[in-house]
């Protein structure tokens, strides 16, 4: 992945995919932004990762933009960490959070992704084409550009 790239990431999960947003610091390290419901309610998590590119479950990294320098990370963190992006409604999923995050990044001029339905369609198309390779352990994740 490219340094300072902003990626929508999809990892193979038991049902469908786990969606998140990854901000690459360099080719192998970056910050994962995502929500999970491990403890019974949805919560946001921001974590540094040196191993995402080694993940056996990562199906797709779809580049949606590049960090605006020099203050890119300081712009992105409060946008994606906004507690108003999380819902405890029964239908809420990590996909809804990730797509909302992309829309907010677009509104703030950080990425150029005006059509969330096109982002979602491309993400599913690429991840689904690679899913069996990931499940069989025979392929690396796909890196693509929106």
Tell me, what's the pLDDT at 39?
A: 82
Q: How many domains does the chain have?
A: 1
Q: What is the residue range of 42's domain?
A: 5-145
* CB-side neighbour CA atoms (13 Å) of 30: 27
How far apart are alpha carbons 72 and 70 in whole angstroms? 6
Lowest mean pLDDT among 5-14, 65-74, 128-137: 65-74
Return the closest-CA partner of residue 81 out of 106, 108, 101. Answer: 101
Let me know: does 100 contact 119? Beta carbons within 8 Å: no
Average pLDDT on 63-89 reads 87
Tell me, what's the pLDDT at 70?
A: 66
pLDDT tens-digit readout, 32-53? 999 999 888 899 999 999 988 8
pLDDT at 28 over 70: yes
**68: Cβ contacts below 8 Å, ≥ 6 apart:** 75, 109, 110
pTM: 0.94
Average pLDDT on 92-113 reads 94
């Amino acid at each position: 992945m490219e340094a300072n790239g902003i990626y929508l990431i999809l990892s193979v999960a038991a049902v469908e995919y786990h969606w998140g947003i990854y901000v690459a610091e360099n080719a192998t390290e970056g910050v994962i932004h995502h929500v999970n419901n491990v403890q019974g309610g949805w919560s946001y998590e921001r974590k540094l990762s040196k191993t995402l590119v080694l993940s056996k479950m990562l199906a797709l990294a779809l580049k949606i933009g590049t960090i605006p320098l020099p203050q890119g990370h300081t712009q992105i963190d409060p946008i994606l960490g906004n507690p108003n992006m999380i819902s405890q409604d029964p239908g809420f999923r990590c996909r809804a959070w990730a797509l909302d995050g992309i829309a907010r990044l677009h509104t703030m001029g950080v990425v150029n992704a005006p059509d969330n339905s096109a982002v979602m369609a491309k993400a599913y198309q690429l991840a689904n084409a690679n899913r069996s390779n990931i499940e069989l352990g025979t392929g690396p994740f796909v890196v693509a550009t929106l």
